[in-house]
Chain A
Amino acid sequence: MSSTIKWYWFASPQTFYPLAGTLARWSGVLAAVLAAAGLYVGFFVAPTDAQQGEAYRIIFIHVPAAWMSMFLYVVMAFWAAIGLAFNTRLSGMMASAIAPTGALFTFIALWTGSLWGRPTWGAYWVWDARLTSELILLFLYLGFMALQAAIDDPRRADRAGAVLAIVGVINVPIIYYSVKWWNTLHQGASVSLTRAPSMASTMLAGMLLMALAFWAYSIAVSLARVRCIMRERE
């Protein structure tokens, strides 16, 4: 019962502001520690890949960034939907605070992917299904941010962005599957993302550490940004 009350208590920007500050600080520290550990495991502990050599080590950044890029879009749409349904101010602020981080991770995933693709596939860009849908995800993030930036009234911006985010999140699986299908139609299996089936456990550990670090980073940055938005608006 007490937890229910606390949820509503923290739904108000005034009461959430100090909590967000504390959480952001600790998440930031946690992100730094986890990232240091993850990068150490990634660069010094994990063995060299038999086929890809040292180039594979970029997956310690690339894969967690790709995970976060997709996950953050869903989180953003979730907050947007909550904001639209319950008309809470904080939810809309959270959605617009998450969007730049999501776009950043999408961009990092694309950037590191192309750096990995050059030595491994021999090209910076191929029209692979995952690359293409990640690119479209970046456009969806940018569209969301552009729409919010174009509207002066913050309440209208939140609500308009919310409708767009919900429409986008319904479309993401449709886009993913149609791109995947398009890809198999247009080009054969010249390029495959599948790696050796069994991944060394240290590689997996490094990747999970980095994923947790990115989680903590996203929480820290989103909360810091939501604090800025609160100060701007109230």
Chain B
Amino acid sequence: MLEAARTVVVRDLLLALRRPSDVATALLFFVIVASLFPLGIGAEPNLLRAIAPGVIWVAALLSSMLSLARLFAADHADGTLEQMLLGVSPLGVVAAAKVLAHWLVSGLPLVVIAPLIALQYDLPHSLYGTLAVSLLLGTPVLSLIGAIGAALTLGLRGGGVLLSLLVLPLYVPVLIMGAGSVDTAAAGLSAAGQLQLLAAFLALAAAFAPWAIAAALRISTE
């Protein structure tokens, strides 16, 4: 079972490595969206410092959603997904492995590049740790919830727009806790509460989302 999961993760990572432009596009999108806000709002440093956590988190939400549509599409198109459905290893485990691989190529880079955006927004250095931890805990939840939407909209016309309609409302708690943790830390308080709630979301999503994804995949491939 774990062997199957490992194989799926390695395979998906290898596929992503062979086509690095896909990963780069989502990352570039994240940077561009975050860079647009000062142009629209104005470059007043205090204002930027205040909106930085929210902007970074909203950009992370959008960027993670953008890459979701590709999560199952290629496997669905070439029949790999059907083989996974027929295989002996539980579909929930395969789904969890695919989500893990997706997070490694789309979520983790956001965590790495977020300090760059924070620098642009003149966020105090003491907050970088909280920002990184919140993204580290929050982006996997985005991948897990988003994968349910990606599985449900598999092969539908207008899938991308529909996906955002399904998934974005469900992202709200993660956004609130993620941006809230940095805001709280900026106010000089301990962000432990929000980070623990994010960890709780992650535990909850990791436990239940794979089965929902598996159910959605079965429905979509019937």
Contacts and interface: CB of A to CB of B under 8 A. Distances in A.
Contacts, number: 73
Interface string A114-157: 00000000000000000000001001101100110011000010
Interface of A: 84, 136, 139-140, 142-143, 146-147, 150-151, 156, 159-160, 163-164, 166-168, 170-171, 174-175, 178-179, 181-182, 185
Max count, chain A CB within 10 A of own CB: residue among B149, B159, B166, B180? B166
B219 A150 contact: no
Contacts of A167: 145, 148, 170, 212
Nearest to B168: A139
Contact of A140 (B153, B158, B159, B169): B169
A176 B183 CA distance: 20
Contacts of B170: 140, 167-168, 171, 175
Contacts of A146: 162, 165-166
B156 to A, nearest CB: 5
B184 A160 contact: no
Contacts of A160: 152, 216, 219-220
Given A146-B162, A167-B170, A181 B176 contact: yes
Contact of B152 (A84, A140, A163, A175): A163
B175 to A, nearest CB: 9
Contacts of A174: 173, 201
Contacts of B168: 139
A87 B201 CA distance: 30
Contacts of B184: 185
Contact of B153 (A136, A150, A166, A181): A150
Given A140-B170, A163-B152, A185-B183, 20 more contacts: A136-B172, A139-B169, A143-B166, A146-B165, A147-B162, A147-B166, A151-B156, A156-B219, A156-B220, A159-B219, A163-B215, A164-B152, A164-B166, A167-B212, A168-B170, A178-B176, A179-B172, A181-B176, A182-B180, A185-B180
A167 B201 CA distance: 13
Interface string B48-83: 000000000000000000000000000000000000
B173 A175 contact: yes
A147 B153 contact: yes
